[in-house]
A and B are shown apart, each in its own frame.
Chain A
Amino acid sequence: DADVTQTPRNRITKTGKRIMLECSQTKGHDRMYWYRQDPGLGLRLIYYSFDVKDINKGEISDGYSVSRQAQAKFSLSLESAIPNQTALYFCATSVRTGQQFFGPGTRLTVL
């Protein structure tokens, strides 16, 4: 079984809709991250959380919100989706410094 899972894997939605992407991990890591990936660009950090009570904005947090429901769960929400939020979204976990473990990604299309 995968250590970091994301649901859904693919989603097509319309402008203005609220969308939630979910991430679960069985690695027991305290730190979790949400990134988006666009063609030709590297991963960009949206939000990160170092434990259940800790939520921090990344470099591109506008238009997104997150919830850390438990150590193992970190959700990303788009309150009112817009077309330029069409991207591949990745959740990741880490222990401390260095290596991050990534989920398989969610491909989101906003029409």
Chain B
Amino acid sequence: GESVGLHLPTLSVQEGDNSIINCAYSNSASDYFIWYKQESGKGPQFIIDIRSNMDKRQGQRVTVLLNKTVKHLSLQIAATQPGDSAVYFCAEELLYNFNKFYFGSGTKLNVKP
């Protein structure tokens, strides 16, 4: 079956530094990849997504990189702020499998002041 996982369960960074959160996936047929942020006590919140035919997409302070050769996805957060502290999930969507989503287990980002 499909699996989406994360390399590191916890990441600590200094405020102002850049953060990189990584994700590995196993299904080369995945069509969409999405990053979510989940703050304590809240539901996941969409950050950015990327189609499988792209290798980079930029948002406000965030960049997602997709390397299909090694089935790797990363989320880069520029100038990390205390408000960025949360758990970050990657998810993959398989359009051929009735648009099902598969989520990784999450990486907890701690931003130190």
- A residues neighboring B (CB under 8 Å): 4, 31, 33, 35, 40-45, 48, 50, 56, 58-59, 90, 92, 94, 96-105
> B73 interface residue, CB < 8 Å from A?
no
Contact B105 A90 (CB under 8 A): no
Given known contacts A40-B105, A42-B104, A99 and B44 CB-to-CB distance under 8 angstroms: no
Q: How far is the CA of A50 from the CA of B95 in the complex (A)?
A: 13
Tell me if B93 and A42 are in contact (CB < 8 A).
no
A42 near B103 with CB under 8 A, answer yes
A45:B42 contact, CB within 8 angstroms:
no
> Are A102 and B45 in touch, CB under 8 angstroms?
yes
Which size bracket describes the interface of B in this complex?
20 to 34
A-B contact count (CB 8 A): 64
Bound together, the chains give a CA A56 to CA B101 distance in angstroms of 13
Nearest B residue to A101 by beta-carbon distance?
B46
A-B residue pairs in contact (CB < 8 Å), sample of 26: A31-B99, A40-B9, A41-B105, A42-B89, A42-B102, A42-B103, A42-B104, A42-B106, A43-B91, A43-B101, A43-B103, A50-B98, A50-B99, A90-B43, A90-B44, A92-B43, A97-B32, A97-B95, A98-B34, A98-B93, A99-B46, A100-B46, A100-B101, A102-B43, A102-B44, A104-B41
- In the bound complex, how far is the Cα of B51 from the Cα of A99, in angstroms? 12
Kindly provide the distance from the CB of B53 to the nearest chain A CB, expressed in whole angstroms: 13
Chain A CB within 8 A of B75 CB: no
Contact A104 B42 (CB under 8 A): yes
Give the shortest distance, in Å, between B10 (CB) and chain A (any CB): 12
Q: Which residues of A contact B41 (CB under 8 A)?
A: 104-105
Within 8 A of A (CB), among B1-32: 1, 4, 9, 31-32
Complex Cα distance A50/B34, Å?
Answer: 20
CB contacts (< 8 Å) of A102 on chain B: these are 36, 43-45
Across the A-B interface, the 5 shortest Cβ-Cβ residue pairs: A102-B43, A42-B103, A43-B103, A99-B46, A42-B105
